[in-house]
């Protein structure tokens, strides 16, 4: 009985769809295409390596392509932002102050064509850098790939969100969340966020980590 309960709760997943699935459905096949591009075709997405910039430009290009084909009922904003800042934190019982400069985020805001700039919004967050010595398929290429497919689905299905949805693809997550910190401290939309979904290390087996 315990095994049956476990199977129903944790092992009964939806059937994945191929890349030729209907545009108004979420396709795991299309997610895998993005993931292969980020993980296989682009080597090294760590801070300071050329692969990180290549990944950022791939993400931006995908988002701009979606924005160019969006219907008139949408308002789409795609931005490439450079963040700098500093903060203090406790690390291994010691107070550490970190200063950082010139880290890149890619941001997309999807809203209706009548939405206001300061309207309360939902933030969906994932990072495109990867840990040192790892291709970062689950941490966090799969997050980025899923967010790209989700943003495509929103626009191509014709569903207009009742509140703006902000997709934040942040860099330097592996270095104490620098990209996220920079967004929250400096971006004009940070004060509008009313709800926040962070996708982290998804696709590594078992339940995904969603905060």
pLDDT of residue 152: 97
Stretch among 27-36, 67-76, 89-98, 156-165 having the lowest mean pLDDT? 89-98
Q: Name the residue among 143, 77, 70 with its Cα closest to residue 110.
A: 77
pLDDT of residue 174: 94
Q: Are 194 and 123 in contact (CB under 8 A)?
A: no
pLDDT of residue 9: 77
Alpha-carbon 107 to chain mean position? 9
Active-site amino acid positions: 173
For the chain, give the mean pLDDT: 92
Average pLDDT over residues 127-153: 94
How far is the C-alpha of 77 from the C-alpha of 108, rounded, in Å? 6
Q: According to the CATH classification, is domain 17-210 in 3.40.630.10?
A: yes
Angle formed at CA 33 by CA 154 and CA 61, multiple of 5 degrees: 60
Flag whether pLDDT at 109 surpasses 90.
yes
Question: How sure is the predictor about 107, in pLDDT bands with cuts at 50, 70 and 90?
Answer: very high
How does pLDDT run across 54-90, given as a tens digit for each residue? Answer: 999 999 999 999 999 999 999 999 999 999 999 998 9
Q: Are 85 and 183 in contact (CB under 8 A)?
A: no
How far is the C-alpha of 58 from the C-alpha of 42, rounded, in Å? 10
Name beta bridge partners: 104.
82
In eight-state DSSP terms, residue 182 is: H
Q: Quick one: which H or E segment has residue 146?
A: helix 142-156
Q: Are 133 and 111 in contact (CB under 8 A)?
A: no
Q: Is the peptide bond before 140 cis (omega within 30 degrees of 0)?
A: yes
């Amino acid at each position: 009985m315990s095994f049956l309960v476990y199977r129903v709760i944790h092992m009964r997943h939806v059937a994945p769809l191929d890349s030729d699935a209907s545009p108004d459905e979420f396709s795991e096949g299309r997610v895998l295409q993005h993931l292969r591009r980020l993980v296989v075709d682009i080597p090294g997405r760590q801070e300071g390596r050329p692969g990180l910039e290549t990944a950022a430009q791939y993400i931006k290009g995908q988002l701009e392509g979606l924005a160019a084909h969006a219907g008139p009922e949408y308002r789409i904003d795609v931005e490439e932002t450079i963040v700098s800042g500093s903060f203090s934190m406790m690390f291994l019982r010691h107070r550490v102050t970190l200063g950082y400069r010139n880290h890149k985020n890619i941001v997309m805001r999807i809203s209706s064509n009548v939405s206001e700039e300061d309207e309360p919004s939902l933030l969906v967050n994932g990072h495109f850098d990867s840990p040192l010595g790892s291709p970062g398929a689950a941490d966090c290429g799969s997050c980025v790939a899923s967010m790209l497919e989700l943003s495509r689905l929103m626009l191509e299905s014709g569903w207009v969100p009742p509140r703006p949805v902000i997709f934040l693809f942040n860099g330097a997550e592996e270095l104490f969340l620098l990209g996220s910190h920079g967004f929250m401290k400096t971006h004009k939309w940070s004060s509008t966020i009313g709800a926040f979904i962070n996708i982290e290390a998804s696709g590594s087996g078992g339940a995904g980590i969603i905060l």
